[in-house]
Structure 1
Amino acid sequence: MSPSPAQRQAVRDAARWYAQLSSDQARADDLAQWQSWHDSNPLHQQAWQRMQAISRPLAGMPRELAASTLLHAGRTRRQVLYSVAILLGGGTVASLGWRSDMRRELTAAHRTAVGERRALTLADGSQVLLDTDSALDVQFDAQQRLLLLRRGQVLVTTAADVSARPFLVDTRFGRVRALGTRFIVSVDERGSETAVLEKSVQVSLGAAQHLRLDAGQRAAFGPAGIGPLRANDASVGAWRDGSLIAIEQPLGELLAQLSRYRPGLLFCDPAVAAMKISGAFPITDTDLALAALQSAFALKVQRRSRYWVTVMARH
């Protein structure tokens, strides 16, 4: 069944709101107006709850182009429209929690744009490197040193603390406690992951689930729990040095990672999504990374514009 005119309009409105709220000019009254729009109609809520699935790659695109691209997607790519307005229509995201997450991401004290990485030195001397499109709050007090990772990925190198306060990183899925260490934490809509580069961390999901990780180990955590433990490889943390390293990685997964470092939409043709790729690809010049893929593999990079790129088989 095709989307109704009302559903199509809700998608267009959601695209405009997303582009507006994601811009550097977003103001507090924009959030209030967006919430009024969101709460006024269940169709608005459904469209907004699905928006993140297709709009995250638009971060960093000029606002007018972002809205135009999403609206064009709504008209010409029916599967994208379905994913926003209809797909999983029987399921309900906890809209209050999602809305709260969105607001926290937009107002986080430390944020990076698409393609940007930024180093921070915290009050205790700890070092934090924010990856692309990340949002972070820092809350230090007399009892603890707490990082709230709202979105994206960070590399943390902890410093000794004279008061022996615990160093914690919270995501919406759980908590990572540093045990005098250097480690990475990431979070997206599906879950979180931590990878330990030096010493150890402890991952906790509430009071009942805990897992200790030592140097060279990583684990995902989220709605399904923690683990299993996996060994780090050369791909872990390569972003800090400006590259993505693929080791027999499906092309679709590699492009999903690469898309985080470039504005616009980067699609993978399903016919080649499972192709196994190995190599190192620069994140500081994603066009060069795409050119390397096209040169080294039987692939073609098709560009509708800088902001709409598809990787497909070369015929």
Structure 2
Amino acid sequence: MSTGRHPHPGAAAASAALPESVTLAATEWFVRLQAPDADADTHASTQAAWQRWHDADPQHALAWQRLVEFGTHLRTIPPLVAHKTLVRARAPQTNSGRRRLLGLIAVAGVTSAVWSATDSNTVRAWRADLRTGVGERRTVQLADGTVLTLNTDSAVDVHFSEDVRRLRLVRGEIAITTGADADRGHRPFFVDTAQGSLQALGTRFAVRQHDDSAAVAVLEGAVRVVPANAANATVVLTAGQGATFDASALRSRFDDASLANAAAAWTQGMLVVHAMPLGDFLAELGRYRRGHLGCAPEVAALRVSGIYPVDDTDRVLDMLSRALPVDIQRFTRWFVRVQPGSRTSTRSGTGREESPDNVPTRRAIGGERTHT
């Protein structure tokens, strides 16, 4: 596949006006690349067609560059909604739909692009060998027998050669049970992140890519952690251990099997938390649903504990409204805000409003069940 790189258009080109047909085409490609439930062959065909369009004209590359610059905001549009809008926009009698889509591009065009679309993490995720949408989980078996599970909004590249097995975590979170690879001489197995590399030493483990760090939790066997810029900071983690690291060093480390199990509970569709601030909890829950999920500052410090089903986030929000002194305000399906409750909660049995320190532990389902 072509890299799709063009010479940097420069400040003058970056601010140049583009034909409506070009900006609309860029928007249409954006939506097609997010097509819900697309199989691997369809996704690959769409990527190849997009690449040909992108490389065919510098104006196409510039329109795409502006769109990707604004892509963080556009990604909050659910793919199904975007597709329906696009279908309506193509109809002659619904030209206003086209104008609305183009309005998004116009906003993106206000800011000069400072990086190429091919360098965008979003585009790399679209091009990844394996990917999931928001709220989706996917399990695949690789050629060596390795079982790989992708969490919500995740992307992975797979590079197996004669000498080594290597995964590149482009975005999101994965869980891995490494295959024996006996027929190929037990090739070493690595997972690369933006901050460094992990070598599996016959193991089952989970890895998550954060913005400025990566996290690993080991469930079986052992994993060697090698920060990208600090080979002397290498550490071997065994079952029940985990760590967060950046390119220079380990930031934190734990040795607690329950924490390792909690870090991988998403593989069973669960979010396990203990005394997590509500603001942080909603940020985690928001990974599994499209749109905006936030809370008022007055309730952000309330503590949440329990086991919650990530496949039904609306149910989880209802649980919160019963367990904590909060109300759930749904402005639309895609914009939800947690506000201070309209009445004093007595669910703690004290008859007084609950502060962050005395909010009761609420186990939504599963009790003390351990997830592995």
Which deviations, in whole Å up to 9, do the C-alpha atoms of 1:268-301 show, x marking residues without a partner? Answer: 2232222211111111111111111111111111
From 164, 167, 178, the equivalent of 2:189 is 167
Distance in 1, matches of 2:262 and 2:318, equals 20
Q: How many residues align?
A: 292
Distance in 1, matches of 2:294 and 2:59, equals 30
From 157, 164, 187, the equivalent of 1:144 is 164
| 8 A Cα contact 1:57 1:263, kept in partner | yes
> Higher mean Cα deviation, 18-27 or 262-271?
18-27
SS at match of 2:263: coil
From 257, 262, 270, the equivalent of 2:284 is 257
Counterpart residue number, 2:134: 114
Give the C-alpha shift of residue 228 in structure 1. Answer: 2.0
User: Does 1:276 pair with 2:303?
Assistant: yes
**TM-score of the aligned structures, taking structure 1 as reference length:** 0.76
User: Does 1:205 pair with 2:217?
Assistant: no
Distance in 2, matches of 1:150 and 1:57, equals 19
Distance in 1, matches of 2:222 and 2:169, equals 19
SS at match of 2:203: strand
From 294, 297, 309, the equivalent of 1:267 is 294
Which deviations, in whole Å up to 9, do the C-alpha atoms of 1:33-90 show, x marking residues without a partner? Answer: 678569649xx968844643x555546552168999xx89x99xxxxxx9x999xx9x
**Structural RMSD (CA):** 3.7
SS at match of 2:294: strand
- State the one-letter code of the partner of 1:129: T
Q: Cα–Cα, structure 1 residues 38 and 230, in superposed 2: closer, same or farther, change >3 Å?
A: farther
Which deviations, in whole Å up to 9, do the C-alpha atoms of 1:98-118 show, x marking residues without a partner? Answer: 42x333210222222222212
From 133, 153, 171, the equivalent of 2:153 is 133
Q: Which runs of 5+ in 1 are unaligned?
A: 1-5, 7-11, 76-81
Distance in 2, matches of 1:282 and 1:33, equals 41
Q: Which of structures 1 and 2 has the larger relative contact order (alpha carbons within 8 angstroms, sep 6+)?
A: 1
From 201, 218, 227, the equivalent of 2:251 is 227
Give the C-alpha shift of residue 231 in structure 1. Answer: 3.4
Distance in 1, matches of 2:300 and 2:281, equals 9
| 8 A Cα contact 1:166 1:178, kept in partner | yes
| 8 A Cα contact 1:60 1:113, kept in partner | no
1:60-79 superposed matches below 5 A: 60=79, 62-63=81-82
Identity %: 35
**TM-score of the aligned structures, taking structure 2 as reference length:** 0.66
Counterpart residue number, 1:246: 273
Determine which structure has more spread, i.e. the larger CA radius of gyration: 2
Which deviations, in whole Å up to 9, do the C-alpha atoms of 1:162-189 show, x marking residues without a partner? Answer: 2121011112222110011110011143
Give the C-alpha shift of residue 224 in structure 1. Answer: 5.3
Counterpart residue number, 1:194: 216
Distance in 2, matches of 1:194 and 1:137, equals 18
SS at match of 1:228: strand
Distance in 2, matches of 1:296 and 1:156, equals 34
- State the one-letter code of the partner of 1:22: Q
Distance in 2, matches of 1:152 and 1:202, equals 20
Q: Cα–Cα, structure 1 residues 103 and 314, in superposed 2: closer, same or farther, change >3 Å?
A: same
Q: Cα–Cα, structure 1 residues 16 and 303, in superposed 2: closer, same or farther, change >3 Å?
A: farther
